Amino acid sequence: MLADLRDRFAAVRADLGLTLDYPAEALAEAERVAAQPPPMPERDETHLPFITLDPPGSMDLDQAMHLERGGNGYRVRYAIADVPAFVRLGGALDAVTRERGQTVYCPDLRVPLHPEVLSEGAGSLLPDAVRPAFVWELRLDAEGVLGSSEVYRAMVRSVQRLAYDEVQAAIDAGSDDERFVLLREIGELRIERERVRGGASLPMPEQQIVERPDGGFTIEFRPPVPAEEWNAQISLLTGMAAASMMLEAGVGVLRTMPAPAAGAVAQYRRVARALGASWPQSMPYGEFIRSLDRTDPHHLALIHEASGLFRGAGYTAFDGDLPAQREHAAVAAPYAHVTAPLRRLVDRFGLMVCEAVCRGDEVPDAVRAALPDLAAHMRTSDQRARSADRACADATEAAVLVGREGELFDAVIVDRTEKGVVVQLVDLPVLTRSRGSGVELGEHVSVRLVRADVAAGALEFVIAGQGGSGS
């Protein structure tokens, strides 16, 4: 079974054209620049004890932070890996990264945007290594409101690589480590600013494929810890600062998403009312979604239904006239991707735009020339990454359930489509379609497994009863 599953992962990558191999010229360029980097920034901030915060085991470390109090507020320094220092515009490595678009994560391996000699070596903000970075300096008042921002190139050093669960455990145990105290304070303040802005995030249960000690794989829902959200708020803050710089300069590339249509929100209100959820007329949809409880079957169905309000995200490049669509509706502000250049193509160009603007220089012609094509590159790579993620998850779900054909499982109806209903199993982190009708959103049902096919990455369920009486 394990061999079948690994074969399926490899087949998914082959179907999508995902490969670990780089063109010889691009790989040689990466190895050459890693061994003999170009001139590094003169500004030295290695005295600041930056830390990184990532999933455990991560080696492609894009961001490091240093937080401190400043006057009546806070001073955030957010160092981002200086990928442009290693990737020459117009070179072979530049060309292949434009084709790849982003790092794609599969259960058994990842297909990196950049060769590992850069993404896990010379370009990564690894602990105790001196690295070039774009340092964002962000000053916040006591309420967490951004007062000023700038970005510059400097040499930095991370002193410790931390994982989300590790930091959360320390905070929950009452740690007085000022780094963690400040992360929590600033994170909570920024979450409140998001609420005030009318921002929205979708608390969808995150399905995660986990490799077991025996080399096999299983699937689980991973509940995010608060430290992860606090860290994400620092990244969001930086992206909002970058977008403001770009709009003021009249050049850049934004991450945009239109506001949901009034009809879509009205329909969502009707679904919420039908499921018995309390939603005051004056409450914005983002705040309502934030109040939902993933352990309540009706609320879980509403979380899945809310995905229809988060559509149309893309990238909008501009040079001269400002775009009509400037905001990201879920952020409730203009926003740009600039914090993950090791793993995402567009961030490299956003960083170069903002750094030039802050220096008072013209954005380089080669950067301007690349902007119009970035949206297409990222759209293609986003589709590829989503397809890989879904296909690998489907195969793993099938592997977990092989041999259990004919069994009944408790499930909750979380969506309806023209092809049937979507169910989430109660005792297994499996989200899949099922044949059947005459059921309502949020309803408990029993579903019978008819087929589990790892090679095809396919599951087939049929509703066997209402009320949930599975084994």
Instruction: Render pLDDT for 215-260 as a digit per residue (tens, 0 to 9).
Output: 778 787 777 889 999 999 999 999 999 999 999 999 999 999 999 9
The pLDDT of residue 470 is 46
The pLDDT of residue 130 is 97
Q: Quote the strand ranges of 212-353, DSSP E.
A: 217-222, 251-256, 314-319, 327-328, 333-334
pLDDT in tens, 381-413: 999 999 999 999 999 999 989 999 999 999 999
74 closest CA partner among 186, 178, 179: 186
Mean pLDDT for the stretch of residues 9-37: 96
The pLDDT of residue 2 is 61
pLDDT in tens, 297-307: 888 888 888 98
- CB atoms under 10 Å from CB of 301, counted, come to 26
Percent of the chain with pLDDT over 90: 76
- CB atoms under 10 Å from CB of 5, counted, come to 24
Mean pLDDT for the stretch of residues 367-377: 97
The pLDDT of residue 468 is 59
Q: Is the pLDDT of residue 98 over 70?
A: yes
Mean pLDDT of all residues belonging to the chain: 93
Mean pLDDT for the stretch of residues 59-76: 96
pLDDT in tens, 150-207: 999 999 999 999 999 999 999 999 999 999 999 999 999 999 999 999 999 887 777 7
SS3 153: strand
Handedness of CA 175, 180, 186, 188 (dihedral sign): negative
pTM, two decimals, is 0.93
The pLDDT of residue 350 is 98
CA distance readout (Å), 95 to 100, 172, 347, 402: 9, 46, 15, 43
